[in-house]
Structure 1
């Protein structure tokens, strides 16, 4: 992230290098705090691959050597670290149980409040994106990511086991928080909508993800579903 500002010579290169670097730091922080680090290591691998590849796509900032080398070096290291960690992770204790079901009764009330607040933030971002005049990129990014936050919030409210929904919420909201710098509308009033909404929604998603993950809620849902299956069919 520091190199993006120190060595880039174009606005496009600086924005992309900063955004990808921030996501590498984001997944690195989550992998330190989480118990099951597999999703975070996978995210680090994907972000690193995208960061390493972007300078080769088109001619967006091929003439910005500082940004290109920042992406190549940081992205390459993220691929190596994320890939090595991901291949050595134990299989996650999950069986795809995220549908509607009786296991919703196992969820804590705060889990639903996170989803409700995120839904309000997402809808507010969409409405403010329509109300404020900004660049086409700023309007599109704010409305699009705000709408995605609202959709993910609804998923988290409907899911029996919302751990990964909260992780998706945190990732989407963090992208909204970074968007004014990456998309180049930091000088507009709409940027404050992206910063405030993105920061609050990121905090909600990270809190929900880490809390569910530390409680190993996925295992509790799996065991409860297995017990209900045994009672019904055996």
Structure 2
């Protein structure tokens, strides 16, 4: 479920310059980081054992959240809010996916539980 959410929000961010008022920095921040978020969800969907995809998704989400200030497009209301909301959602999706992976590893021959 988290993988599909990551793909949807990543594609949304990547395509958002089609309907948002952007400048060059906002356009490329949304396209590149949105595509990376979607790609990390796609990678994790097909390779659930590849936990680095979850960490990457969280990092891309943080970068997208910070991008309006770092790339100086915080004055573009639609592009900024899209970056902030999608960035937060990407981090939330990444964090919620991490316990699922941890429980899968423990349930299928991972670390032994102590009694």
What TM-score results when the alignment is normalised by the length of structure 1? 0.43
Tell me what 1:169 maps to. 57
Unaligned runs of 5+ in 1: 1-112, 224-234
- Which one of 12, 27, 47 corresponds to residue 124 of structure 1? 12
Tell me what 1:114 maps to. 2
Moved over 2 A (4+): 210-213, 218-223
Could you say which structure has the larger radius of gyration? 1
Aligned length: 110
Relative to structure 1, is the Cα distance of residues 219 and 175 closer, same or farther in structure 2, using a 3 angstrom cutoff?
A: farther
Tell me what 1:198 maps to. 87
Tell me what 2:97 maps to. 208
Higher RCO, Cα 8 Å, sep 6+ = 2
Unaligned runs of 5+ in 2: none
CA RMSD between the two structures: 2.1
| Secondary structure class of the residue paired with 1:157 | helix
Provide Cα deviations, 1:111-158, integer angstroms capped at 9, x if missing partner. Answer: xx0000110001111111232121211110111100111111100100
| Secondary structure class of the residue paired with 1:187 | coil
